[in-house]
Structure 1
């Protein structure tokens, strides 16, 4: 039987804060099979306005009622017929809802052995029935205040932890937003610059390249006329023979087509670079589009060719890929970031007899995705920082040589493509990055 023997609305004195009020409120749960003890405890506490008392005489109901009442102090009889007080004490200490509530054991015997058993089972205090009113009230208030302070501390700690998690989440969101803004601005500026440069170079190069055929034809005509003139007017031609000897006409006639051919090869090379620049920037393809992934890789390699030099070997193991639906310019940026990092790792690697290599491998998976592997045999990434390589602004490069945004931006781009990117490294052996994206972007 649960009896709310005493319950009073407590007024808030002037100058007392809500926190102080909460820490001073006392809710006592008395568990004792003798109703006379319940009435006696009620009389001892009846005049205390800040103390509410609840009485349970059935120990079998004590467990569920202790959870429902949420007392700040429990007065528990040591000896009861249906359930031993020590057994109930152990249960109360095992349940998350009651394990921290202060429990004062009540006993008619003052035996050291009983006290020891009670404290060993988790009791906070031990009193002889019936205790002195002043002592009982003092101990109840002491334990209740300690418990309320503990609850306030736990609540404050949980709130602080929640706020810390929210702050950490906010910081990450801000970093992500900052990275996205930087990426957008960077790609926009880079794309406009590359596209504009490609356009400006493309026009005069096309003009020069297109006129090589006519130039070659005109020079050949002049050489034919000179040969004909020499045959038809040998005497007159002898007058300029000395001058012809000075300029080594035979060599000029032989070398001129070679010069024209070299110049034509040069303009073709420039046109390839311009095409790669346009393919890399793809400002006209900001939306998703089905493209040849290998073209993006080749364009990126061409733009990085000046860094490869003779010491880095590129090994291509291209699979038979279908057209992949993606955002081409963004995907090219991922290839640029990873390949640039691979080149940095190889150029920083001490000279050795092993050929510096970058392997680029592509394949189609059974999941209707494509995978791009970029593997280098550089110095590798230290194990302690491998899990940080995709964090925004994390870099191992010296100041002014890296922002720590390349891989963070790449991670976000691949996420936008509903794909995954991960890296695996073995220090001293090399690093492997695997990019996986779906063939069809939903």
Structure 2
């Protein structure tokens, strides 16, 4: 039965509003999850005739699972519907202040009410009128006053359908949120895994370089330290032999035979050349050790101001065994200031990118085509440094270019690539507050651009 009935004047021309709740109290107004769970129907009637409101109120009072709300002023209907969030709207087709079809269209255009089932009430039974109502978005059409049993049955049907739709929408939204959270978690795990791999690689590289530097430096230093004395001794012996030759130009038979056997004149001429070659070789080894140290930056921690051209040159030296004679390296260096960066990590980016460029030019199908890699550096107007590495290799297919920086994605054959090089490079450049991108066309080569600020911005 009716628990509350309120008649409220809403305008000077005595427009009435009747609000009745079954069986909840008068303070409840919003659609809730409890309504879905209990199959509660929240009905809002919009009709200018108070007698219709009272009649429908009496009909619905027999069902405790239906709460009823009556609006006599159609101009307030949208506001009231948003506030009450009904599960079914009963809408009069013909009203003096506003056409029911116009109000129906407003309901369907508003995001808060567009899915609410709307049942049109009218005394007209013409098929054309019904068709217009359905075309405007009505879910049902009843002749007023409808049979109580039919009215309650239709309200239950539409309300249950709407509650199910709400539940499904909520479940879908939750599923989408969970999917996004899962995707985010997977990306975080991949990023963490890549970072762990990168850390381990750099740690292993550091240990390897430290070991090589230690093991090679000792004998090289010993050799270089003795070159001076060896040179002096050889020069002294040569001078002594030359003095003997001047003082005793006529050798006896034994000495002359021995000098001829060992080709004394050639030895005296070749010894200084051998010594010079040994010096050059030892200096070359020292340069390689220095390049290794510059590449790994063992003696530097954190960000430093460095000449990035030195990093590029060190990387090229370490890759010299891969740069065949038919690969042309073109350097177009600008006059750059010292760049604040993490040198070891930035050198790792150069290593990854140049390795890929070498692979690309070596894999090109046209063997007669010149193999070329261009390294260009420049300072931009935004106080950033741009490093561009261009190869004329096989290029990258458009459909996979968006995946190039994804962890574990590789275009190389099995056991030829891990798919971590460019992913690690992407993270390193992000850490440098910069950006890395590429342009490529199959068969035309690839242009990879790295841009980092001259000065890192402190967080």
What range is the shorter-chain TM-score in? Answer: over 0.9
Indicate yes or no: 2:435 matched with 1:420: yes
1:310 to 325, 332, 339: 325
Distance 2:261 2:87 in 1: 116
In the alignment, which of 187, 190, 198 is matched to residue 183 of structure 1?
A: 198
- Does 2:163 align with 1:148? yes
TM-score by length of 2: 0.92
* Aligned match of 2:175: 160
More helix by share: 1
How far apart are the structure 2 equivalents of 1:372 and 1:166?
A: 36
CA–CA distance in structure 2, aligned partners of residues 242 and 86 of structure 1 = 128
Which digits, 9 at most, give the CA deviation of each residue in 1:316-337, with x for residues without a partner? Answer: 1110011111111001000000
| CA shift for structure 1 position 188 | 1.1
Alignment of 1:5-44 (within 5 A): 5-9=20-24, 22=37, 24-44=39-59
Quote the Cα distance in structure 2 between the aligned partners of 1:91 and 1:82: 15
Residue 94 of structure 1 is matched in structure 2 by 109
Which residue of 255, 260, 264 maps to 2:279? Answer: 264
Separation in 2 of the partners of 1:290 and 1:42?
81
TM-aligned CA deviation for residue 235 of structure 1: 6.3
8 Å contact from structure 2 (residues 392, 445) kept in 1: yes
Q: Which residue number corresponds to residue 345 of structure 1?
A: 360
Q: Which residue of 2 aligns with 1:242?
A: 257
Check the 8 A contact 1:286/1:329 in 2, yes or no.
no
Cα-to-partner distance string for 1:357-410 (whole Å, 9 max, x where unaligned) = 111111111111111111111111111111111111111111221111111111
CA deviation string 1:40-66 (max 9, x = no partner): 111111121110000011111111111
Question: 1:122 is matched with which residue?
Answer: 137
Aligned-residue Cα RMSD (Å) equals 1.6
Question: Offset of 1:9 from its aligned partner?
Answer: 3.6
Contact preservation (8 Å) 2:88, 2:159 = yes
215-224 or 306-315, which deviates more? 215-224
1:294 aligns with 2:319: no
Structure-2 change in CA distance of 1:161 and 1:97 (3 Å): same
CA distance in 1, matches of 2:179, 2:244: 94
Matches of 1:250 and 1:387, distance apart in 2: 69
Query: Paired residue for 1:435?
Result: 450
User: Structure 2: where are the runs of 5+ without partners?
Assistant: 1-15, 26-32
TM-score, structure 1 as length reference: 0.95
How far off its partner does 1:2 sit? 3.7
Q: Say if 1:6 and 1:42, in contact at 8 Å, map to a contact too.
A: no
Matches within 5 A, 1:284-433: 284-433=299-448
Aligned to 1:15: none
User: Post-superposition shift, 1:108?
Assistant: 1.3
- 8 Å Cα contact 1:192/1:283 also seen in 2: no
Query: d(CA) in 2 for partners of 1:373 and 1:434?
Result: 5
Determine the C-alpha separation between the residues in 2 that align with 1:23 and 1:422. Answer: 56
The whole-number CA distance in structure 1 between the counterparts of 2:218 and 2:201 is 26
- Please state whether the residue corresponding to 1:285 is helix, strand or coil: coil
Q: Displacement, 1:418? A: 0.9
- Mapped to 1, the partners of 2:271 and 2:111 lie a distance apart of 95
CA distance in 2, matches of 1:87, 1:8: 32
Distance 1:2 1:207 in 2: 105
Task: Say whether the 8 Å CA contact 1:195–1:281 is kept in structure 2.
Answer: no
